[in-house]
Structure 1
Amino acid sequence: MLPAATSPTTPTPATFYADNRGWLTQWLTAKLRSAFDADDVTQDTFLRVMSGNNLAEVRDAKSFLCTIAKRVMVDRFRRNALEKAYLDVLSQLPETVMPSPELQQSQLEMLQMVDQMLDGLGGKARQAFLLSQLDNLTYAEIAQQL
């Protein structure tokens, strides 16, 4: 079976990128006040766009890309805050129990995955999980609190 042909109004991923990368990077540079961070967020934004396969549905490229870029920035800020909190905890450990750099990286990646999964849960499910795992409450105690 042959792939469906794109309509003349649907840009190819390469064209969409070429047409929009410049202004998105400028917009992000103004927001983030860092050309390096803007480049990173621009690339992450286009990675999300290209993984979605929905260019045919885009009516306003700028609004579409700004929305995705804002989500990428929020994820980035959360990841940075989580990393900072983890490093703050590590800095208080005695050297004798300090995990190796490899283990630190692995633990940080695991924390980020847990954070991402928790973000996908509903409010009560997230709260129940945290009460169970962080406060060591029983199911009965969690039910009482919720």
Structure 2
Amino acid sequence: MASSHPVAELYVEHHSWLQGWLRRKLGCTHRAADLAHDTFLRLINREEPVAIQEPRAFLTTVAQRVLANHWRREYLEQAYLAALALQPEALAPSPEERQIILATLSEIDALLATLPDEVRRVFLRSQLDGRKQGEIAAELGISVTTVKRHLRRAGALCYFALDVA
């Protein structure tokens, strides 16, 4: 039977192996199944065609990226829940609001990950730590003008990402 999508053959031949590989990394069959699914979705959604000489090495590389994103989301969720636990219960968001907030934080995290380290550090010190531009400049050993430029760059990234969504 001829496959209609180039990833179909890869899926049929290597899905079980990939899921087992992820299960060993995660220690959880259900999460491994989800991330194997996400790995193949990433391949299906690629704009460039999938031409693979070493399928398992290729799948491992893609799955490692999916796994890294999973760990980032999990870390972000744990940090959010820890911060939430410090708030009075009366201010706690509903489960639906919590999911929206976590999804938004994940999107912002992914956006900020595209920035150079220094730009990201400046932005986070400003937005999360509430530091003034002069303090950030002194702390990082850069000029206030550079801090302003970095803040504009990160702010524009976040602003236009929201505008597109």
**How many Å apart are 1:108 and its aligned residue?**
1.3
1:67 aligns with 2:68: no
What SS class does the counterpart of residue 22 from structure 1 fall into? helix
1:55 aligns with 2:56: no
Query: Which residue among 111, 117, 124 is the counterpart of 1:117?
Result: 111
Compute the TM-score of the two structures, normalised by the length of structure 1. 0.83
After the TM superposition, which parts of structure 1 deviate over 4 Å for at least 4 consecutive aligned residues? none
The range that moved more, 113-122 or 96-105, is 96-105
Structure 1 distance, partners of 2:20, 2:129, is 45
1:88 aligns with 2:68: no
Compute the TM-score of the two structures, normalised by the length of structure 2. 0.74
The range that moved more, 130-139 or 35-44, is 130-139
- Aligned partner of 1:115: which letter? D
**How many Å apart are 1:139 and its aligned residue?**
3.1
**How many Å apart are 1:68 and its aligned residue?**
0.9
**Structure-2 change in CA distance of 1:133 and 1:104 (3 Å):** same
- Aligned partner of 2:125: which letter? L
Gap regions ≥5 residues in structure 2:
141-165
Relative contact order, CA 8 A, sep 6+: which one is greater?
Answer: 1
Q: Is the 8 A contact 2:84 2:92 kept in 1?
A: yes
Equivalent residue number for residue 79 of structure 1: 73
- Aligned partner of 1:76: which letter? H
1:137 aligns with 2:125: no
Structure 1 distance, partners of 2:91, 2:124, is 26
1:99 aligns with 2:93: yes
Structure 2 distance, partners of 1:45, 1:20, is 12
Q: Is the 8 A contact 2:23 2:32 kept in 1?
A: yes
What SS class does the counterpart of residue 88 from structure 1 fall into? helix
1:21 aligns with 2:11: no
Equivalent residue number for residue 46 of structure 1: 40
CA RMSD of aligned residues (A): 1.7
**How many Å apart are 1:62 and its aligned residue?**
0.5
Query: What is the number of equivalent residue pairs in this alignment?
Result: 135
